[in-house]
Amino acid sequence: MTRWSIGDLAKASGLTVRTLHHYDEIGLVVASERTPSGHRRYTPDDVRRLYQVRSLRQLGLSLEEVRSALSRSDSLRPIFEAQLASLTAQAQHVEALRSRLTALLDGHTPESLLSTLEMMSVHESYFTADQLGDLRSRAAALGPEAVEALKASWLELVARLRQHMADGTPPSDPRVVELARQWDELGAKFTGGDAAVQAAAQRSWEENKASISSRIGWPADDGLVEYVTRARAAR
């Protein structure tokens, strides 16, 4: 009566038999006794240990962390603090994903989602994470409608420039120069006119200019960038 079969213990603890097998296999919660035929018999001490393991698991610790937590029970506090830090990081990560997704869902038609994503992806090759964070918070400050308007302008601008490029229009053509001016203007709006952010973006651009063709991985875009650069120079 003071020994528990694996099935009864599973029901009592809310875990599965397989889980208890696993804990036994890895030596985390071992049944101290066996019947002559090999069936596991859990003692009250085993059961108590299982409950400790379950508690620690419910705090999100890994099995290895649980093991070390139970091996030196005086050092629970640092383990918990580390776990809390890890959870905080996770929470921030999840929140970042959530805000990205809500921004996308709020401001885009289904058709524009993929192209926007591609743009974002390419941008993340140009800019550092910090700089992107700046840009994003600026976008949040502008509000979804304004950002949506800016993005629409941007897509239109890129489409027109690509067409001129495909048509062989020289970069010095006044129409192209005007589009390049709009490109820079839009860029300024994206950075919110904030000189620091703008300078950071500019600096990132300058520093990476030489290696951009090997980093972007999207040749057509490189052509566009150079095209705009030449048009800007012709101004």
Partner DNA sequence: GCTTGAACCTCACGCCACGGGAGGTCCTAC
Partner DNA sequence: GTAGGACCTCCCGTGGCGTGAGGTTCAAGC
Interface ranges with DNA (CB under 7 A)? 5-8, 10, 16-19, 21-22, 31, 35-40, 57, 62-64
In the structure encoding, which two tokens stand for residue 25, read together? 């296999």
The smaller minimum CB distance to DNA, of residues 7 and 193, is found at 7
Share in percent of the chain as helix, strand, coil (round to 5)? 80, 5, 20
Residue 62 binding: pick among DNA, its own copies, none (C-beta 5-8 Å cut-off by kind): DNA
Determine which helix (DSSP H) or strand (DSSP E) holds 151, and give its type and residue range.
Answer: helix 144-167
Answer positive or negative: Cα dihedral of 115, 119, 125, 129.
negative
Give the CA angle between residues 90, 197, 220 to the nearest 5°.
Answer: 85
Determine which helix (DSSP H) or strand (DSSP E) holds 40, and give its type and residue range.
Answer: strand 40-41
The smaller minimum CB distance to its own copies, of residues 10 and 234, is found at 10
The smaller minimum CB distance to DNA, of residues 97 and 199, is found at 97
Residue 125 binding: pick among its own copies, DNA, none (C-beta 5-8 Å cut-off by kind): its own copies
Shortest distance, position 21 Cβ to its own copies, whole Å: 17
The smaller minimum CB distance to its own copies, of residues 61 and 231, is found at 61
Shortest distance, position 68 Cβ to DNA, whole Å: 12
